[in-house]
Amino acid sequence: MKLISVSDEEELSRIAAEILFTKVKSAKRLVLGLATGKTPQGMYRYLSKYSKEYKQSYTHIHTVNLDEYVGSTTYHTYMEEHLFQHIDIPNDQTHIPDGEAASLIEECSRYEQMIKELGGIDLQVLGIGENGHIGFNEPGTSFDARTHVVQLTDSTLKANAKYFVDSKQPKQAITMGIGTILESREILLLAIGERKANAVKELFKGSLNEEIPATALINHTNVTVLADKGARKLLDKES
Ligand code: PGA
């Protein structure tokens, strides 16, 4: 696993956006796996800015998001607001699990099949939960899991409650599985702040442990972790 140490959120956002933008610019076709949450917001801001400045087209890009709340379009709205409305990506080339699907089970299989038909994910961006979750794969999820419906833990519900001040927070979500994520050809994990320090420490110093979902990445051969000072706090202390 490669670690890129940055000082703060601003630098992390800029460097993450540069990594993505370079791929968007140079690839003939690219399947980008995208994440939501607080962490990648700055990255999307820079990516939108670069795309405008350089008049970069996204007609050759397909995006596949990690997750969505059940009965909700929260992350559809998020992606529209933070990225899709700023670039020229065709609507039908952006994919997010449908949390409002009549059959959630069928939606999960459809999502897996769709990723397969796209030829898999070239680069998957990940955040990391305080409890080490990736996507919404909570502690205890099998490392083989495919796209599935999850019951969110109290820790995750609490961390994300801020997005639901005006509406009821769903307690379930659809998430790409860890097995699905691990098939991505390349992974870029972003970690900001001391709250993530323990999870980041487990990534670099720990071993495979289904109670800390992110440790599944230890065996992947092409993972880059971008971490700011806060997120590296427990690493720096011990090295
Ligand atoms: P955050 O969430 O970016 O809002 O901290 C990250 C995650 O839970 O994966």
Question: pLDDT tens digits, residue range 154-192?
Answer: 988 998 898 888 889 999 999 999 999 999 999 999 999
Check if 37 has its Cβ closer than 6 Å to any atom of ligand 1.
Answer: yes
- d(C-alpha 185, C-alpha 222), whole Å: 7
- pLDDT above 60 for 239: no
b/e per residue, 93-109, with b = 16+ CB within 10 A? bbbbbbbebeebeebbe
pLDDT (0 to 100) of residue 166: 85
Q: Which helix (H) or strand (E) holds 151?
A: strand 148-151
Check if 39 has its Cβ closer than 6 Å to any atom of ligand 1.
Answer: yes
Cβ atoms of residues 117 and 179 within 8 Å: no
Distance 28 CA to ligand 1 centre (A): 30
Q: Helix (H, G, I), strand (E, B), or coil: what is residue 168?
A: coil
Which residues participate in catalysis according to the annotation? 67, 131, 133, 138
pLDDT in tens, 57-107: 999 999 999 999 999 999 999 999 999 999 999 999 999 999 999 999 999
pLDDT band for position 237 (cuts 50, 70, 90) = low
In the chain, what are the domain boundaries?
2-225
Percent of the chain with pLDDT over 70: 98
- d(C-alpha 201, C-alpha 132), whole Å: 10
pTM assigned to the model: 0.96
- What's the topology of domain 2-225? Rossmann fold (3.40.50)
Q: What is the mean pLDDT of the chain?
A: 96
Mean pLDDT of 20-31: 98
Probe residue for ligand 1, chosen from 12, 13, 36, 38 as the CB with the greatest number of ligand atoms within 8 Å: 38
Check if 195 has its Cβ closer than 6 Å to any atom of ligand 1.
Answer: no
| Residue 34, strand partner residues | 65
- d(C-alpha 72, C-alpha 121), whole Å: 25
Cβ atoms of residues 35 and 66 within 8 Å: yes
Check if 42 has its Cβ closer than 6 Å to any atom of ligand 1.
Answer: no
CA distances from 221 to 64, 155, 178, 190 (A): 21, 30, 15, 17
pLDDT (0 to 100) of residue 238: 54
| Nearest C-alpha neighbor of 225 from the set 197, 192, 188, 171 | 188
- pLDDT above 90 for 53: yes
List all residues 6 or more positions away from 228 whose beta carbon is below 8 Å from its beta carbon: 6, 7, 8, 9, 11, 12, 191, 192, 193
